[in-house]
């Protein structure tokens, strides 16, 4: 895998991981469009590790507050907003971890890496995102919501294993349907990504450590390059999204998804 392709993958991952446009779909489509070898799920996950570093640095104050909230929980205090946010994260996380473990353990995730599936999911879930943003006007915060809100968002996150759905997009969609404001939906979606990205990254590193190297396949150095570059671009994307989400809403992302999905379907069905 060339340095140019690695850089392209890293930049795409960083820019799209936290935008509601499906980073996994973009990563899968890069080799499909360029005609180069598919980098495989392993490099995809290493790119996600860079995004993990970026989101942890950007939301470091929230993470520190939730750490303090964790100590309050152990002392029986649940009225701290940070404690409530931590509880929501804990409740919403296991669904995707369990489904993801099953998919990757049995190799079923590879069956979803199909351009036709990506095209359909990109359009469909983009439209659902638009509808959720227009149908709900509430401006609640996650800390003030019911525990069932976290359950529904966690269940929605499972759909993100379908490339084209977008993990950030589907969790923001669920949050908006449940009455969470745009900015708070984006914030919770990014914080919710931390345990999932961490688990995926740990699995990827373990796979690198125990698997036999394949001639010509991307190695650890390639993965580290992707992780570093994606971290930088992801931080920029997070900053821009948090600055603009209240002003522009999700409509520009929906338009992009529809155009992208139509182009994919045109190539798939027209060739």
pLDDT in tens, 154-208: 999 999 988 889 899 999 999 999 989 888 999 999 999 999 888 877 776 676 6
pLDDT in tens, 107-122: 776 677 788 888 899 9
**Contact by Cβ (8 Å): 30, 5:** yes
- Copy the structure tokens of residue 158: 């499972």
CA distance 153 to 106: 25
The pLDDT value recorded for residue 218 is 56
The pLDDT value recorded for residue 217 is 55
Q: Report residues of the chain scoring pLDDT below 70.
A: 1-2, 24, 27-42, 44, 109-110, 137-138, 204-205, 207-220, 271
**Structural domain boundaries of the chain?**
3-270
Q: Which residues, 6+ apart, have CB-to-CB distance to 177 below 8 Å?
A: 132, 135, 136
The pLDDT value recorded for residue 94 is 95
Among candidate residues 203, 208, 183, the one with its CA nearest the CA of residue 48: 203
- pTM for the model stands at 0.86
Question: What is the DSSP track for 18-69?
Answer: TTTT-HHHHHHHHHHHH-SPP-HHHHHHHHHHHHHHHHHHHTHHHHHHHHHH
């Amino acid at each position: 895998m060339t340095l140019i392709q690695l850089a392209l993958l890293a930049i795409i991952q960083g820019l799209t991981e936290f935008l509601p446009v499906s980073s996994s779909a973009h990563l899968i489509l890069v080799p499909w469009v360029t005609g180069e070898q598919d980098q495989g799920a392993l490099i995809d996950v290493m790119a996600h590790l860079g995004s993990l570093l970026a989101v942890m640095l950007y939301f470091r104050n929230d993470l520190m507050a939730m750490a303090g909230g964790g100590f309050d929980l152990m002392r029986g205090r649940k009225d701290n907003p940070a404690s409530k946010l931590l509880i929501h994260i804990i409740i919403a996380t296991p669904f995707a971890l369990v489904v993801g473990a099953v998919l990757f353990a049995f190799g079923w995730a590879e069956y979803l890496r199909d351009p036709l599936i990506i095209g359909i999911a990109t359009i469909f879930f983009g439209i659902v995102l638009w509808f959720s943003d227009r149908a709900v006007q509430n401006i609640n915060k996650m800390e003030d919501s019911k525990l069932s809100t976290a359950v529904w968002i966690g269940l929605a996150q499972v759909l993100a294993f379908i490339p084209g759905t977008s993990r950030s997009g589907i969790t923001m969609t669920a949050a908006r349907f449940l009455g969470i404001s745009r900015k708070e939906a984006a914030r919770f979606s990014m914080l919710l990504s931390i345990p999932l990205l961490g688990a995926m990254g740990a699995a990827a590193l373990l796979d690198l450590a125990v698997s036999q190297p394949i001639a010509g396949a991307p190695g650890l150095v390639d993965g580290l390059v992707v992780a570093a570059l994606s971290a930088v671009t992801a931080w920029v994307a997070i900053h821009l999204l948090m600055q603009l989400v209240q002003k522009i809403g999700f409509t520009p992302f929906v338009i992009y998804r529809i155009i992208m999905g139509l182009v994919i379907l045109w190539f798939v069905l027209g060739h």
